[in-house]
Chains A and B, each alone.
Chain A
Amino acid sequence: KAGVTQTPRYLIKTRGQQVTLSCSPISGHRSVSWYQQTPGQGLQFLFEYFSETQRNKGNFPGRFSGRQFSNSRSEMNVSTLELGDSALYLCASSLGGTGGSPLHFGNGTRLTVT
């Protein structure tokens, strides 16, 4: 079974630009979550989608948005990039997204904002 696939692996953008990151979950998984990882803040929850509906959102500004498609694939968008948005963005999928259902993570997209 293929794992969670994130594209691209690396991205370099300039302040003020916007970026879209893509995530393909494990086949059969309907929940997709996004996390931001930085040296200073660690792993922080961005949002979670299930059957195209956002069920929960973390404490991030509105510049961070996402969506999920009918095939469970998900995209995350960050507009008006700031230097502080430089991070590893991790996507995870799971069967239900709650309870004991473990998250399975992709390799991440490393975003650098200059």
Chain B
Amino acid sequence: AQKVTQAQTEISVVEKEDVTLDCVYETRDTTYYLFWYKQPPSGELVFLIRRNSFDEQNEISGRYSWNFQKSTSSFNFTITASQVVDSAVYFCALRGGSNDYKLSFGAGTTVTVRA
């Protein structure tokens, strides 16, 4: 069974500060996929990034970056120079290898960016 843990319930920062969201996962699959989603107050879950288990290269995309470490089963996500529009609930999700049709989500972390 897949399990995703987001230990941080809420994070509050002032605009322009960096925000790092923690995600720890559990899976028995050797091939799996990790995702980050953002849910603004409107309710729609917005896909942000994806990482395959066989590619540990960390990347930066605009103000977003992520740190994937298989050794510690962690997939952390960082927003650099946060803005008020970044205020949302952020979810980490995991999907296993072949024939796994569902995403297992963490409980989410509420990020509030104050002006």
Contact = CB atoms under 8 A, between A and B. Distances in A.
Interface of A: 31, 33, 35, 42-43, 45, 48, 50, 55-56, 58, 88, 90, 92, 97-100, 102-108, 110
Nearest to B91: A43
Interface SS, A side: strand
Contacts of B101: 31, 33, 48, 50, 55-56, 97-98
A60 B37 CA distance: 24
B71 interface: no
Nearest to A96: B101
A42 B108 contact: yes
Contacts of B52: 100
Given A42-B105, A42-B107, A43-B91, A98 B99 contact: yes
A102 B102 contact: no
Interface stretch (B15-23, B39-47, B79-87): B39-47
Contacts of A42: 105-108
B45 A90 contact: yes
Contacts, number: 60
A99 B43 contact: no
Contacts of B105: 42-43
B35 A102 contact: yes
B21 to A, nearest CB: 16
A102 B99 contact: no
Interface in B93-115: 95, 97-108
A99 B103 CA distance: 10
